[in-house]
Amino acid sequence: MIVQKYGGTSVESVSNIKGIARKVALEKAGGQDLVIVVSAMGDTTDELMKLADHITTRHHKRDLDMLLSTGEQVTVALLCMALREEGVAATGLTGWQAGISTTTDHGGASILSIAPERIQGELKMGNVVVVAGFQGITGDGDISTLGRGGSDTTAAALATKLGAERCEIYTDVEGVYTSDPRYIKNAVMISSLTYEEMLTMARRGAGVLHPKAIEHAMPHNVPLVVRSSMSRVGGTWIHGSPGKGVSHPVCGVVFHKGRFCYTLSPIQNRMEIKRLISSRLTLWGMEYDTLIEEGGDTLAFLVAEDDLERADSIFDRAGAIVRRDRKATVTVVAKDKKTCPVIRDKVRQILQENRIAFHTIENCTNHVTTVVEESHAIDLASLLHSAFGLDEVQAFEAAGIY
């Protein structure tokens, strides 16, 4: 049995959905059991957000989840209809019908458990099961959503629970690239990555795969394959062991816009305040970074745009003067963490040569992350991509060493 997930662009039109139904019908006829997870069609989720914004921008999160979860449900119904037209018996399920239980954090819920009986029963009857991505149900019986890009998480969590052979993520690019191919023209597709490498790439901005999807697959060693829904070429395997051959020392250069930097200054008991704020951010379930500061009386934290409201309420109570600036991070992901000091020196040199003001993030293990003005992010990523020899990776690949 395999789990396949089709993203927004892959299901953006009825003709795309019919194309997927034909592909699934062929695979089913070949004896493959299939669970299909789908996203909302095209920009549907953005459009639904806009509708809500026309009423208020102070959203009631339960209402918003009620609204946003409808996008995926439309795709489920249409794909089931298209499958039936292909002569394939299909059962469409919403998140709760598929047994997906989540935390109560509306808009950013985590999957707590999956009751697999319904899906297993449908598979046993020979049906293809189509599940709405990005949604589940809370302990109170309310519809929840998993955060933008959350259909990846649904697919990986289902693959893990159901013991699938692999989880295929179909999207609008051929696989995971050394950087976002939409902005970095020399980015190259990577054929194999370990879970740890992909997790860092994803957490630091490679939006092609949700980090939580990797977190679900990794402990159970379920391979993830990112590939194009339009073409048969390419594909990136993400699994437990490193690929064969001599690999390039750097996996990729990724960037993340819309990071917010809170600077507290001046502060006296730096360590104490740092500990206090860190524990509050963690308690509220927020991922954050701390910046390495030169002076001893400044403290700076970086949080994601989605967490701004909650972060504001924590920092407002911090007592020291707080400044909030919009920034971006640019990250070089290393194959081997031992090479990080060398990478750090080279990144610093490039930043200085190009007169780009920057800060560095603490506690990076297998990567080097710098914080820069948002307007510098793409240019810097492009510079680093070239400087670390990733522009020439195709040549390495041809020689069989990537």
Residues that bind ligand ASP (CB under 6 A): 7-8, 39-40, 45, 71, 133-134, 148-152
CB of 145 to ligand ASP, least distance (A): 8
Q: Does residue 154 belong to the site contacting ligand ADP (CB under 6 A)? A: no
Pairwise CA distance, residues 151 & 155, whole Å: 6
* CA-closest candidate to residue 122, choices 147, 158, 173: 158
Terminal-to-terminal C-alpha distance of the chain: 30
Q: Which of 179, 329, 369, 370 binds ligand ADP (CB under 6 A)?
A: 179
Q: Is 80 in the site for ligand ADP (CB under 6 A)?
A: no
Instruction: Give min distance, CB of 367 to ligand ADP, in A.
Output: 13
In angstroms, what is the minimal distance from the CB of 354 to ligand ADP? 22
Contact pattern from residue 256 through residue 295 relative to ligand ADP, giving x for each residue in contact according to CB under 6 A and a dash for the rest? ----------------------------------------
Which residue number, 7 or 211, has a Cβ lying nearer to Mg ion? 7
Nearer to ligand ASP, 12 or 122 (CB): 12
Work out whether 206 is an interface residue with ligand ADP (CB under 6 A): yes
- Interaction of residue 205 with Mg ion, rule CB under 5 A: no
The residue of the chain with the least Cβ separation from Mg ion equals 149
149 counts as binding Mg ion under rule CB under 5 A: yes
Q: Is 268 exposed, middle or buried (0-12, 13-18, 19+ CB in 10 A)?
A: exposed
Query: 133 is in the binding site of which of ligand ASP, ligand ADP, Mg ion, none (Cβ under 5 to 8 A by kind)?
Result: ligand ASP
Closer to ligand ASP by CB, 149 or 252: give it: 149
Q: Which long-range contacts (CB under 8 A, 24 or more apart) does 317-324 make?
A: 318/264, 318/273, 318/277, 319/273, 320/264, 320/265, 320/266, 320/267, 320/273, 321/264, 321/265, 321/266, 322/262, 322/263, 322/264, 323/262, 323/263, 323/265, 324/260, 324/261, 324/262, 324/263
